[in-house]
Amino acid sequence: MQTTPTQSPSDRWRFHRAVWRWHFYAGLFVLPFIAWLALTGAAYLYQKPIDRWIHHDLKVVEPTRGTPASASAQIAAVEAVAAGRTFRYTLPERADGSVEIGVQQPDGTRDVYYVDPGTARVLGSLPDKGTFSGVVRRLHSLDLVGRWASALIEIAAGWAILLVITGVFLWWPRGQRGGVTRVRGRPAQRLFWRDLHAVTGVWVGAVLLFLALTGMPWSLVWGKQVNAWANGHNSGYPAGVRVDVPMSDQRLADATAPSWSMEQARLPASQLAHTRAHARHAAPPQQQAHEGHESHAGMGPGDLSPQPGAIGIDAALQRFNALGMAPGYSVSLPRGPMGVYSASVYPEQVNRQRVVHMDQYSGRILLDMGYADYGVLGRGLEWGINVHLGQQYGSVNRLLLLVACAAIVLLCASGAVMWWKRRPAGGVGIPPLPHARRTVAIVFALLCIGGIVFPLMGLSLLVIGVLDYVLTRGWRSS
């Protein structure tokens, strides 16, 4: 954020010039992403009230005065107008909210139908994740770029962390008074934009660092590895949290949108199907092969037909309600003979998160997991993500993040204006190298430590470092 180096031979100014160069590179690559994430993130903070306003005809109904229609009647009303099968049933959070019924079409696409719970009248439908909040979330997560979105998130978040660390080093007071806590000059002057960038950066830097770190769980390499590790160790799911039941190959994320730490969680298998599986092993080989093929087909993503002997959605909801599930929970319907009813809810307060799996035949609870059952790592990550989403502390959380998002956009804009005013005509304006090549190498080596922690950022850092080394003939200052 400090942009005018001196020719002092002291170590601090030599390091200052080297750090400034990498701060420039970080800003060059990451500022457009940061501005985009701040703008889309600000919109997502208020996604629920905006959703109710934009999709009012689908999401808002007259509160039910009498006995509401049964869930099975609501599902039947939807399947009478839809070509597919129901895979998810979501209760409303509020008394004037509609029921949301997810339907998987024969071609594999998914739609959500909105139903008045009092009358079972179908209000309309949208593609799954087709609401305002769904679109904004896709924009925020960079889904527009396709399969490499999570890789870009990791690279952008890693460079944002590097940007904050180098920015604080450059801002650190070295006897100067201006540009530390106050802005000097006027908007026509580059000094004004330099000070505005520095002062804004130091105030919002901690929030930007927090958002970058808590956004990492959605990244390709770092997030995937931490997720897999958290789901296989006591720090994620302590011993005894998963009860002693056979596990299926299905995952909770196949039917609903679970919290980050539950994305890799497998679903238990219903006991009647497990008993049948044991019986198959004692059957003749020909019968084993035939039944094994049927069982495998039953596990497929399109097999949503009700199974003989299952208790049904109405009885399942009665049991879930008796457990005290928070309002607005979703129930994923069983898939095939080994499937289970899975209820999940992720309210604003992270300590109310809960996932319950129920045997589809006996109604027995196979797993009942809440936030308190997570390990230290799982609880910390879930808390960070909830704060990142503006949920954990209600309106105060959202308002603070909204102000932070505006400050981040200002930080990006002031950095761009400052660079534009400083750059030479026809040039890029890369900060000059210090005279000592050893200083550049030391700074680069220190930054590579962060690259080890965040591999994709480290790989891009290495590429830029090699190019910089080659193009400057071995980091020789001109």
> pLDDT digit string (tens) for 195-208?
999 999 999 999 99
At residue 106, φ and ψ (nearest 5 deg) are -55, -30
pLDDT, tens digit, 9 for 90 and up, residues 129-152: 999 999 999 999 888 777 788 888
| Higher-scoring residue by pLDDT: 335, 49 | 49
Structural domains of the chain ordered from first start: 11-46+143-220+393-471 (no CATH), 56-130 (3.10.450), 239-373 (no CATH)
What is the radius of gyration, based on Cα positions, of the chain? 27
How much is the average pLDDT of 182-206?
91
- 194: its two tokens: 């330099």
The pLDDT of residue 234: 65
pLDDT above 90 for 69: yes
Please tell me whether residue 275 adopts helix, strand or coil conformation. helix
Which pLDDT does position 255 carry in this prediction? 67
Which one has a higher pLDDT value, 434 or 130?
130
pLDDT band, very low/low/confident/very high, at 174 (cuts 50, 70, 90): confident
pLDDT at 237 over 60: no
Res. 67: pLDDT tops 60:
yes
Query: Regarding predicted confidence, which is higher, 450 or 111?
Result: 111
Average pLDDT of the segment spanning 256-270: 70
CA distance 265 to 334: 16
User: Does the pLDDT value for residue 13 go beyond 90?
Assistant: no
Mean residue pLDDT across the chain: 84
Look at residue 289 and tell me whether its pLDDT is greater than 60. no
Asked if residue 277 has pLDDT above 50, the reply is no
9, 418 contact by CB (below 8 A): no
Asked whether the predicted pLDDT for residue 8 surpasses 90, the reply is no
Predicted local distance difference test score (pLDDT) of residue 290 = 33
The least confident of 183-187, 256-260, 474-478 is 256-260
Residue 254 to residues 69, 162, 244, 262, 265, Cα–Cα distance (Å): 28, 35, 22, 11, 10
**Which band of pLDDT confidence, cut at 50, 70 and 90, is reported for residue 123?**
very high
* pLDDT band for position 259 (cuts 50, 70, 90): low
User: What residue type is 104 in one-letter code?
Assistant: Q
- Helix, strand, coil shares, percent, the chain, to 5: 55, 10, 35
- Model confidence over 18-48: pLDDT tens digits? 999 999 999 988 899 999 999 999 999 999 9
